[in-house]
Structure 1
Amino acid sequence: MEPIRDAVVSLFRVVVGLLFACHGAATLFGVPGGPRGGGAPPPIGAWPYWWAAVIELVAGGLVMLGLATRAAALLCSGTMAFAYFTVHQPKGLFPLINGGEPAALFCWSFLLLVLIGSGPWSFDTLVSRVRKKR
């Protein structure tokens, strides 16, 4: 059962990291169609949207690769918690009402990765094996 669990953890990390990085790319570069399918990218350095997009792209990519996973996932989780409480929660109490389901799901998904790690199919595991050989 453990090999299946390990594989699922690694695949979960790859999918969540890729989806998060895609959000950052869409916001920063207007692909595909820009943020939420329309609109222009935020100006460089614009708080908090440009910075959030950079975190989404870079930290999401690190999570996807499984490199510095716990730190990157913690940053991603915090970014989504901030987004939920500043953008979504003022619109209503429940995520179904305020449109915050993706932020809540990403937040909790990344927090899970902080706690369980990157799984065996990751650069973190590869680096750990190389260091043990030395």
Structure 2
Amino acid sequence: MKELVITDAAVSVGILILRLSVGATLIAHGYNHIWGGGKIQGTARWFQGLGLKPGALHAWLASVTELVCGALLVIGLLNPVGAAGCVGVMVVAWITNHRPNGFFIFRPGEGYEYVMNLAAAGLALGAVGAGKYSADYLLNLHEDLAGSLGLAITAIAGIGGALVLLAVFWRPEPQEAKTS
């Protein structure tokens, strides 16, 4: 049986593909929240309806986070910061909008499988680092921003930031008030 050998270059290509995919997805979402559909005003109304008050503040905060952190992931700069932004917005979306709808995205109201996978990808990127094909590597930051420290930055800023935001700003209407 032949031994499997995975090279550093192969790992870095895999990380690059993941960074580009997750980063581009975040950029697309941020762009759509500001300029697509109902524009930023529609996003603000939607967030307000989810109980994120004031809605305009959270629409801008989420949209700018998606644009900036998506770009950071695409270029591989300050990788745990970009990954934390991904984790943070996905955890907030998971809790405020997708959690009550079950796992599958195709269920009414959209389940949480999509946001869960993006949050997991963000945590994984925080742990493994940006790889060889990144600005972090070019700036010699890659060793300092990967592994346990990268994961800790991503988890604390992403999950911790989301939980603090929800504790301070999330005020959903009681169920009976929504049905009347």
Relative to the length of structure 1, the TM-score reads: 0.79
Q: Whole-Å Cα distance in 2 between the matches of residues 95 and 48 of structure 1? A: 25
Which of 30, 38, 41 aligns to 2:39? It is 41
Matched, 1:87 2:97: yes
8 A contact 2:66–2:85 mirrored in 1: no
Q: 2:70 aligned with 1:60, yes or no?
A: yes
**2:8 counterpart of 1:18:** no
> Does the alignment pair 1:116 with 2:128?
yes
Q: What is the CA-CA distance between 1:10 and the residue it aligns to?
A: 1.5
Following TM superposition, by how much is the alpha carbon of 1:26 offset from its aligned partner in structure 2, in angstroms? 1.6
My pick for the range that moved more, 59-68 or 102-111, is 102-111
Give yes or no for contact 1:88–1:95 (8 Å, CA) kept in 2: no
How far apart are residue 95 of structure 1 and its match? 3.8
Does the CA contact (< 8 Å) of 2:20 and 2:73 recur in 1? yes
The aligned amino acid for 2:71 is: G
Per-residue CA distance 1:1-52 (angstroms, 9 max, x = gap) = 22212211122111211121111112112xxxx1xxxx32124881322211
Task: List per-residue Cα deviations over 1:78-123 (Å, max 9, x = no partner).
Answer: 2101111111113x23244352332112111111101111011000
C-alpha distance in 2 between matches for 1:78 and 1:67: 18
**% same residue:** 30
- Highest Rg: 1 or 2? 2
Q: What residue ranges of structure 2 are gaps of 5+ in the alignment?
A: 1-5, 45-54, 142-180
Structure 1 gaps, min length 5? 130-134
| Aligned residue-pair number | 120
Secondary structure, counterpart of 1:85 in structure 2:
helix
CA contact (8 A) 1:89 1:95 kept: no
How far apart are the structure 1 equivalents of 2:21 and 2:103? 26
Q: Distance in 2 between matches of 1:81 and 1:95?
A: 16
Counterpart in the other structure of 1:132: none
Partners of 2:94 and 2:115 within 8 A in 1: yes
